[in-house]
Amino acid sequence: MEKIKITKDEVAYVAHLARLSFGEEEMGRFTSQLNDILLYMEKLSEVDTTGVEPMTHAIAQKNAFRSDTVDSSLPSEISLANAPAARGNCFEVPKVIE
């Protein structure tokens, strides 16, 4: 029998965290594909990483500071130009609170 790394319920939970939703058939396909991918990743447990510092970036750079000076920025009408819906100086969204 194939090993189960992730169940349909877990996929549904992760989908919610990622703000995605799937239909029944799509959910089945994703669960099986994610399971295959996660099984492949089990390979990583073969490697002894005791005491190895995790690497986050390829080029070691310390804090990239710059001086705190005001520079040009986009005017709000340009910032809003791509908005699916806007009113006044704001992005418009469906209601958040009942």
Partner 1 sequence: MELYELTVHVLQDKLRAGETTSAEITASVFGRIDAVEKNVRAYITLMRESALAEAARADEKIKKGEIGALTGIPLALKDIYCTKGVRTTCGSRILHNFIPPYDATVVEKLRAAGAVFTGKTNMDEFAMGSSTETSFFGVTRNPWDLERIPGGSSGGSAAAVAAGECIAAFGSDTGGSIRQPAALCGVVGMKPTYGRVSRYGLIAFASSLDQIGPFTKDVEDAAILMNVIAGYDPRESTSVPEPVPDYREFLGRGIEGWTVGIPKEYFIAGIDPEVEAAVRRAITVVEQAGARCIEVSLPHTEYCLAVYYVIAPAEASSNLARYDGVKYGFRSEENRDLLDMYKKTRSAGFGAEVKRRIMIGTYALSSGYYDAYYKKASQVRALIKRDFDRVFTDCDALLTPTAPTPAFKVGEKTDDPMQMYLSDIFTISTNLAGIPGISVPCGFTSGGLPIGLQFLAGHFQEGRLLQIASAYEKHANIEKRRPSL
Residues that bind partner 1 (CB under 8 A): 6, 10-11, 14-15, 17-22, 30, 33-34, 36-38, 40-41, 43-47, 49, 52-59, 61, 64, 66, 74, 78-79, 81-85, 91, 93-96
Tell me if 8 sits within 8 A of 31, measured CB to CB.
Answer: yes
Least Cβ distance, residue 6 to partner 1 (angstroms): 7
Least Cβ distance, residue 4 to partner 1 (angstroms): 14
Nearest residue (CB) to partner 1, 61 versus 89: 61
Buried b (16+ CB within 10 A) or exposed e, 61-85: eeeeeeeeeeeeeeeeeeebeeeee
The DSSP output letter for 79 is H
